[in-house]
Amino acid sequence: MRRVRLLLKLAAIAATSGSTRVFYDRVSPFYELLFTDHLPHIQMMVAAIGGQFQSSNEIRILDIACGTGALSRRLEEQGFRVTGLDFSLQSIRRLRRTNTTIRLVQGDSAALPFAAASFDVVTCMGAWRHFPGPQLVLDEICRVLRPEGVFTVGYFPPKLGGLIPVSSGTLGKVGIFLYSRLVRLLNYNDRTDEDLERQAARMIEVAFANQSLIQCGDSEYLILAKSPR
């Protein structure tokens, strides 16, 4: 019953916010109660990053589009030095109330306010579908990573609204088409089409010396890349 109420509230916010930023400002109080499908991907991402380093001490991680900090907090618990960046001020404020040690910055992922080669790792969980200019974001990620740096992004394939899996075949294509029309009408950036995945994989392959897919469930996965070119 509680989940139904949250879904109705989410729908009302989506219909009236008018932008992706305002939407996330308004859903921040209950975001982690509703978007629980992220959790297996978060756990897998934390494990994948941990496997890249003998020790987490002094490893600096930038978590872009960190939201209310579901990933950032778990990375810090593993001993990493975490900086979280998000365009939603209310999400950052909510994370600050639950954690006072993660460095938090309000900013644009396509214009990161950090010096070159500042981080060992950049993470992005669930937000890739929201970026209007993903190549700009990837260029910035490569700029702030150190030469042997790691980038990991998930989750794929994206779900409608981050909640509803897309079925294969004609029904899925119709759902994606209708959803894309709806989000355009509401002035959001939220892609769920299959080309988003192919585009991300192609861009990352060009930008990094190595990349791999990490399975997270039967059909879902993360992308992990190393050494920006």
Q: Average model confidence (pLDDT) for the chain?
A: 93
Indicate the number of domains in the chain: 1
The backbone torsions φ and ψ at residue 81, rounded to the nearest 5 degrees and listed phi first, read: -95, 110
37-93: pLDDT as tens digits: 888 999 999 999 999 998 888 999 999 999 999 999 999 999 999 999 999 999 999
pTM (2 decimals)? 0.94
**pLDDT grade, residue 29 (50/70/90)?**
very high
In the chain, the amino acid numbered 147 is P
| CB burial of residue 5 (10 Å; 0-12, 13-18, 19+) | exposed
Closest alpha carbon to 49 in 141, 153, 145, 139: 153
Q: How many CB atoms lie within 10 A of CB 181?
A: 10
Give the number of residues written for the chain.
229
Domain that includes residue 72, residue range: 2-228
Upstream peptide bond of 155 is cis (omega within 30 degrees of 0): yes
d(CA 155, CA 162): 10
State residue 16's pLDDT score.
95
State residue 192's pLDDT score.
87
What does DSSP assign to residue 87? S
**pLDDT grade, residue 118 (50/70/90)?**
very high
d(CA 134, CA 223): 15
d(CA 218, CA 201): 19
In this predicted structure, the answer to whether residue 99 has a pLDDT above a threshold of 80 is yes
State residue 1's pLDDT score.
73
In this predicted structure, the answer to whether residue 4 has a pLDDT above a threshold of 90 is no
**pLDDT grade, residue 168 (50/70/90)?**
confident
Residue of higher predicted confidence among 64 and 35: 64
Residue 136 token pair: 């700009």
With a pLDDT cut of 70, the percent of the chain lying above it is: 100
Q: What is the mean pLDDT of residues 32-38?
A: 88
120-165: pLDDT as tens digits: 999 999 899 999 999 999 999 999 999 999 999 987 888 888 888 8
Contact (Cβ atoms closer than 8 angstroms) between residue 91 and residue 28? yes
Domain of residue 198, CATH code? 3.40.50.150
Closest alpha carbon to 158 in 74, 41, 69: 41
d(CA 46, CA 123): 10
Strand order in the sheet with 145-156: 103-106, 81-86, 60-64, 119-125, 145-156, 221-228, 208-215
**Strand pairing report for 208-215 and 221-228:** antiparallel
